[in-house]
Chain A
Amino acid sequence: DAGITQSPRHKVTETGTPVTLRCHQTENHRYMYWYRQDPGHGLRLIHYSYGVKDTDKGEVSDGYSVSRSKTEDFLLTLESATSSQTSVYFCAITGQGATGELFFGEGSRLTVL
C-alpha cells in the first residue's frame, strides 16, 4: 500500500470557520492531488501539485486553497467553510505522471453545519 495518510479522518465544523486537511506521503512522489467525492458527481479534482510550491487548479477549486511547502505534505484549506463543502475528501499521489496509477488515501469526511 502506498504510504498516504490523511488527517483528520473525520471533522464536523460550523459554517464560516476555516478548515485545513492534511495529506502526508512517505513515497517521495512528485504529484499530489485533492479530490472530493459527492453522490451523483463522482470524484472531482479540486487542486493538484506537481512539485514543491507548484500547484494548479482543478475542476472545482473555488473556495479552496492549497499549499505544498515540502514534498511529503499537501494541505487543503477551506478559508470559510460552507455547507456545500460537506463532502468526503481524498488525497492521491503518483510518481510517474505520464503512465502511473494514482494511489489514494482513505479519505477525510467533512461535515459543515
Chain B
Amino acid sequence: DQQVKQNSPSLSVQEGRISILNCDYTNSMFDYFLWYKKYPAEGPTFLISISSIKDKNEDGRFTVFLNKSAKHLSLHIVPSQPGDSAVYFCAAFSSGTYKYIFGTGTRLKVLA
C-alpha cells in the first residue's frame, strides 16, 4: 500500500524547457510535502517544500504546486539545465507520526 506515488519512472527534457515532475498521495493527514534530488553515489538533498495549507511555493527556478482535492503535487523546473539531471523524489510528512514517506522517484534527463 504505497501512500506516495510517482508514476513516471523517467522524463527527458530539452535544456531551457520546463520540466514537470508529478507525485500523488493517498493520505489526507500529511502536513508537508518535500522534493529531494539525488545524484548517483550521493545522499538525497533537499530541494523545496510546501505546507498542506498552501497551494504554491517558489524558489528560484523551482516551483511546487499542491492540489489537495486531487491529492496531487508537482514540481516545475524552469528553465531546465543539464545539471538538473538526477533522480527526484517527492516525500510527504505527517506531524502525527513524524514519518517522512517517499515516492519511488523520477529520473530526469535534461538534454543539452
Contacts and interface: CB of A to CB of B under 8 A. Distances in A.
Given A101-B34, A101-B46, A103-B46, A33 B95 contact: no
A48 B99 CA distance: 8
B101 A102 contact: no
A31 B95 CA distance: 12
Contact of B95 (A44, A98, A104): A98
A50 interface: yes
Contact of A43 (B31, B46, B89): B89
Query: Main secondary structure on chain A at its contact with chain B?
Result: strand
Contacts of B93: 98
A42 B105 contact: yes
B102 A43 contact: yes
Contact of B43 (A40, A41, A50, A107): A107
B21 to A, nearest CB: 13
Interface residues on chain B, size class: 20 to 34
A33 B95 CA distance: 15
Contacts of B98: 31, 48, 50, 97
A56 B45 CA distance: 24
A35 B43 CA distance: 11
A74 interface: no
Contact of A35 (B6, B49, B95, B102): B102
Contacts of A92: 43, 100
Contacts of A97: 95, 98
A84 interface: no
Given A42-B102, A42-B104, A59-B101, A102 B95 contact: no
Nearest to B42: A106
28 contacts: A4-B43, A31-B98, A40-B9, A40-B104, A41-B104, A42-B6, A42-B89, A42-B105, A43-B91, A43-B105, A44-B102, A45-B101, A56-B97, A90-B44, A92-B43, A94-B100, A97-B95, A99-B32, A99-B49, A101-B34, A101-B49, A102-B36, A102-B44, A102-B91, A104-B36, A104-B44, A105-B43, A106-B43
